[in-house]
Amino acid sequence: MLNGSNILVTGGTGSFGHTFVRMTLERFDPQRIIILSRDEMKQWEMAKLFQDDSRVRFFIGDVRDRERLYRAMNRVDYVVHAAASKIVPTAEYNPFECVKTNINGAMNVIDAAIDNGVKRVVALSTDKASSPVNLYGATKLASDKLFVAGNSYAGGDDTRFSVVRYGNVMGSRGSVIPFFMSIRNEGSLPITDERMTRFMITLDQGVELVWRAFEDMVGGEIYVKKIPSMKVTDIAKVIAPQAKLKIVGIRPGEKLHEQMVGVEDAHFTYEYDGFFKILPSIHKWDTTSERIKDGTKVAEDFLYASDNNPEWMSGDELQNWIDQNLSKIGKI
């Protein structure tokens, strides 16, 4: 699928980008993977990791800059849109900046992809876009809607857009596992709410979901991977079993439980082996057999959230994952 292709990853110096580049180079033989990001230091550090592979290129730029995106997408076949302003409290206090990146940036990606004849675009979303309660989630919901509608906006052009949605990425920079590990010897760990639950997905699984979307998409689908949940208190007990848990209260805009498919989307959602697919409600695209394929429609009251999830990760499973990935946790 991706052999011989030119791939652009926006925000490619982040956790996802590092893993996507490594795994895609191992699995496929692309002609080029272009990393677009605005942080030259992160690019310099990442370039050292791939200095022996001429297929990896770097491009300083920002998704807010429409003209720069047009140049970056020249002769590109596939785009993974990973660039985002995503820290929930930061977005609450800097809403204009979050809108510029997550909404205006999405519009620029869509326009540049269509006008450059890109074949497929997959945008990364978040559980927070499902029934959003914070600004970050609201901007990502708007972004999701833009990418779904982009298939109609493209008109007679061949560019197609889809979205992948997943929750907490295990071990990524700024996430709960490296945070708890960094302070586990201080005697106590801060817990926002003892009832809080989170989905657990690895970066490798996130990359595989993007590959699946590229291979399966017709246009407008939102892919949601089936993944296990954990209580945040159980995560804390694995990382620091002797530490006291200090309840500090939910941060501005933070959810008690993650949600990836809301009841409002149930009418358009189909279940598959290992994932769900929310089909677009516009143009009756949710009724097309080419998008439904072998899916089974979920119940009308279906809700996929981290607290009602039938699959849960055990403490032993988390510990095994930590042991196997210790050198990577919090590094990318």
Domains of the chain are 6-166+202-226+260-303 (3.40.50.720)
Question: For 40-57, what is each residue's pLDDT tens digit?
Answer: 999 999 999 999 999 999
* 330, pLDDT greater than 80: no
Question: For 252-262, what is each residue's pLDDT tens digit?
Answer: 778 899 999 99
Mean pLDDT of 238-255: 89
Of 86, 128, 255, 277, which residue is the catalytic one?
128
* Least reliable range by pLDDT among 40-49, 60-69, 125-134, 169-178: 169-178
- Give catalytic status of residue 128 as yes or no: yes
Q: What is the pLDDT of residue 295?
A: 97
* 105, pLDDT greater than 90: yes
Residues 162, 217: contact at Cβ < 8 Å? Answer: yes
Tokens of 82: 């990973």
Q: Which helix (H) or strand (E) holds 81?
A: strand 78-81
Q: What is the pLDDT of residue 263?
A: 95
332 band by pLDDT with thresholds 50, 70 and 90: low
Q: What is the pLDDT of residue 171?
A: 84
Question: For 247-305, what is each residue's pLDDT tens digit?
Answer: 999 877 788 999 999 999 999 999 999 999 999 999 999 999 999 999 999 999 999 99
Cβ neighbours, 10 Å, residue 83: 27
Mean pLDDT of 178-204: 92
Residues 207, 20: contact at Cβ < 8 Å? Answer: yes
* 121, pLDDT greater than 90: yes
99 band by pLDDT with thresholds 50, 70 and 90: very high
Question: How far is C-alpha 165 from the chain's CA centre?
Answer: 6
Mean pLDDT of 61-71: 97
* CB within 8 Å of 147: residues ≥ 6 apart: 81, 106, 110, 121, 123, 161, 162, 163
Q: What is the pLDDT of residue 299?
A: 97
Residue with tokens 């989170």: 198
DSSP state of 167: -
Rounded to 10°, the helix 40-49/15-27 angle is 30
Mean pLDDT of 56-78: 97
Cβ neighbours, 10 Å, residue 68: 18
Q: What is the pLDDT of residue 32?
A: 98
Mean pLDDT of 152-159: 91
Q: Compute the radius of gyration of the chain from its Cα atoms.
A: 20
Residues 129, 163: contact at Cβ < 8 Å? Answer: no
Q: Mean pLDDT of all residues in the chain?
A: 95
